[in-house]
Amino acid sequence: MRKLLLIAAFLAASPLHAQTPIPTFTEETATSGIESSFMGDWEYMVGGGVATFDCNGDGFEDVLTAGGTAQASFFVNTSTAGGPLTFVRQTSGLEIEAVSGTYPLDIDSDGNIDIVLLRVGENMVMRGLGNCQFERANEAWGFDGGDAWSASFSATWEHGQKWPTIAIGNYIDRMQDEFPWGSCTDNWLHRPNADSSGFAPPLPLTPSYCALSILFTDWDRSGTPSLRVSNDREYYKGGQEQMWHLAPGEPPVLLKDTDGWARLRIWGMGIASNDLNGDGFPEYFLTSMADSKLQTLAAPPADGTPARPAYSDVAFAKGVTAHRPYIGDEIQPSTGWHAQFEDVNNDGLADLFVAKGNVDKMPDFALHDPNNLLLQNPDGTFTETGDKASVASMMISRGAALADFNLDGRLDLIVTNRRTPAQVWRNTGPLDGHWIGVRIHQEGPNPDAIGGWLELKRGETVTRREITSGGGHASGQLGWLHMGLGNATEAQVRIIWPDGTEGPWEQVAPDHFYLVSPGAPPRSWTPG
């Protein structure tokens, strides 16, 4: 037997570097006008998303929250630039029950943002009519909403298509009461129909393993996104994490161990992606219960040869396991849901927010589980600052969005909670770092350039983010792409468009918003 000598090194959190600024978030829930709770029992133990998007063209991102057994709620953003966060509930046509997840997407490429509602029951596509009004479009677009417990979403435009391909991840067969385990229902792939007027009947993505987050992502930079699927091992049998390869016009093909895909089985609940190490390939953060994962390509090719989908878990090494509450007196492990990489302190490094909350009074897991705000340090490690930044809510959180609601160049935060009101925080700095905000637009199909890449150059440093639709946990965003610049006083941006065309590097001034379109220099945009 051993003598007592604590393994202190394993418990020590990554220290905060002196040059890593901690932002201050000021909670403005009470005055924000956001009043929404995600309600319901067993069939709503997952989900609870929030969508942020600008549907009235004023540049300020509006908010849609899932209500579960209550109606979904839409709030128009009435904030002023740099001011407090204010929203007003507005009837939008989205006031629908049984919604678990919400994702914005301009499906018909008409310039009006549409909404996909994931539901316990029939999913709905809601056509944007302009000025934040929406109507059901399932029949008009040939979208078969099915009847399932839908929990995850992602979209892409496959090469040559005028209409998006939508993937929807489904959960347990909710009709099974005594033996629901092993009853994962098929995920669906809604591809365009033959004449590009809408959707073809959905294709089952068999086998399916209770997907709680899915994301079309160009993991290997081949130019053809694959579908990354994170599955909840609580309910599948014989399952694992998945990646589907989608060649245009071909049936989806599941990657196998012979491709290099290694079996990983977690309580997968949310996906966030970002090229953290600057090698051009995205890293993937996967929320789970207890340890979360941070996957990086085990052997990223540097010579243009095809990448193999073999990943190493570097969560422990980078300090992002987020496995246990970091404040309070609970010692049980955490439960992670929505995750999002964004630069919240404008130091030029992507940080990580994780929404936390017990599934439903599970005593083996923390009942008071603070959300995480993990700031990235210059050496690539992350340090927990959720308490110092004042976003360590102990509510039972599910969905979330980091977005610049008041267009002051600092990312604010909204978090949805199960059975209790959503919370809103304004990022009140003080932050010395610079930033830019970018909205991308192209004419024709896929106006928001889903599948493209935004790259930012500061001196010799290039940071990049993939323009995706989906992932997280039941929560989607379509709006300004925020990039911190640190102390750089000049920067260049370029877009790699979804068809692979590399736009030119264009000079941008710090602390500005830009509208970027193909063949034209970035146009500066000012709120109001």
Partner 1 sequence: MTAFRRLLSVLLLALMLPSLTMAQTDDRAAFAYQRWYALVLELVRHTPTYTPPVASRAFAYVSIAAYEAVASGNTDLRTLAGQLHGLEPLPARDPAAIYDEAIVIQAAMADSASFFFSNTGPTGQRAMTAMKADLTERTSAGVDPETGARSAAFGKAIADHIIAWSMDDGGATIVNMGFPLDYPAATKPFEWVPTSAIRQQQMPLLPEWGTNRPFAMPQDACPLPPPPAYSEEVGSQFRIEAQEVHDVPGQLTDEQKLIARFWSDDPMLSPTPPGHWVTIALDQLALEDAPLDRQVEVLAKLGITVADAFIANWKMKYEYDLLRPVTYIRRVLDDKWSPLLITPPFPEYPSGHSTQSGAAATVLTALFGENHAFTDTTHEDDGLPARDFPDFWAAANEAGISRLYGGIHFRSAIDLGLDQGRCVGDFTNALVTRS
Q: How many CA atoms lie within 13 A of 439 on its CB side?
A: 24
Ramachandran area for residue 59 (φ above 0: left; ψ -120 to 50: alpha; else beta): left
Nearer to partner 1 by C-beta: 135 or 316?
316
Q: Could you tell me the smallest distance in angstroms from the CB atom of residue 318 to partner 1?
A: 10
By the rule CB under 8 A, 241 interacts with partner 1:
no
DSSP state of 335: B
In 3D space, the residue among 156, 152, 50, 164 whose CA is nearest the CA of residue 107 turns out to be: 164
15 contacts partner 1 (rule: CB under 8 A): no
234 belongs to the binding site for partner 1 (CB under 8 A): yes
CB atoms near residue 13 (< 10 Å): 12
From residue 304 to residue 343, what is the string marking binding to partner 1 with x (rule CB under 8 A)?
Answer: ---------xxxxx---x-xx------xxx----------
Among 212-220, 357-365, 385-393, 497-505, the segment contacting partner 1 (CB under 8 A): 357-365
Sign of the C-alpha dihedral computed for residues 355, 361, 363 and 364 taken in this order: negative
Residues 181-200 that bind partner 1 (CB under 8 A): 181-182
Which of 2, 12, 175, 304 is in the footprint of partner 1 by CB under 8 A? Answer: 2
State the minimum distance, in angstroms, from the CB of residue 202 to partner 1. 25
Q: Is 290 in the site for partner 1 (CB under 8 A)?
A: yes
Q: What is the DSSP letter of 483?
A: E
Residue 238 contacts partner 1 per CB under 8 A = yes
| Contact flag: residue 464 with partner 1 (CB under 8 A) | no
Q: How far is the CB of 418 from partner 1 (least distance, A)?
A: 11
Verify binding: residue 69, partner 1, rule CB under 8 A: no
Q: From the list 118, 151, 168, 172, which residue makes contact with partner 1 (rule: CB under 8 A)?
A: 172
Tell me how far apart the alpha carbons of residues 202 and 503 are, in angstroms, rounded to a whole number: 35
**How far is it, in rounded angstroms, from Cα 46 to Cα 416?**
12
Among 363, 430, 459, 528, binds partner 1 (CB under 8 A): 363
| Residue 23, both tokens | 């932002």
Cβ–Cβ < 8 Å for 374, 352? yes
Of residues 359 and 488, the one with the C-beta less far from partner 1: 359
177 lines the binding site for partner 1 (CB under 8 A):
yes
How far apart are the C-alpha atoms of 480 and 408, rounded to whole Å? 12
Number of residues that bind partner 1 (CB under 8 A): 46
Does residue 18 interact with partner 1 by CB under 8 A?
A: no
Place of tokens 């150059």: 457
Tell me how far apart the terminal alpha carbons of the chain are, to the nearest angstrom.
70
Q: What is the DSSP letter of 259?
A: G
Return the amino acid letter for 205.
L
Q: Which residues bind to partner 1, rule: CB under 8 A? A: 1-7, 10-11, 41-42, 45, 172, 177-182, 233-235, 237-238, 265, 289-291, 313-317, 321, 323-324, 331-333, 359-365
